[in-house]
Amino acid sequence: MMDIHAILNHLPHRYPFLLIDRVLSVNEDKEIVALKNVTINEPFFPGHYPHHPVMPGVLIIEAMAQAAALLSFTSKGGKPDDNSVYYFVGIDGARFKRPVVPGDQLILKVSLLRSVRGLWKYAAVAEVDGQTAAEAEIMCTVRAKE
């Protein structure tokens, strides 16, 4: 389990782009379960949409990618540094099954499918109340800053 302080030590993201509030469990090199509390105070809700606020799908995917980054960093026993960047490099099979709205608690379940030559592929699912909100396979890598 990781609280927000540990998350801030492992991810370079900060408000308003940090999309993980807590890690519920992590099984190194295998899987992670994290959560995002979705509140009406999110900076995107005034424009998406003013009369019916819905969390943008791309931010749900980004939350899954951040959970994947946490899995990678905790598995390899490292943290991001000033000399490298964790990049989101691909997405396959993204599907959105239900809207995510203020008051929802987004549960992010990410499993490592494979890791080859510094490229990781994950299966990711975002759930609300046990129902799938989104799913995708995502690919990430770490590269030196240029």
User: Which residues are designated catalytic?
Assistant: 48
CB atoms within 10 A of CB 141: 16
- Two tokens, residue 77: 């026993």
Provide the 3-class DSSP secondary structure of residue 89: strand
CB atoms within 10 A of CB 80: 17
Cα 99 from Cα 125, distance rounded (Å): 14
Centroid of chain to Cα 100: 15
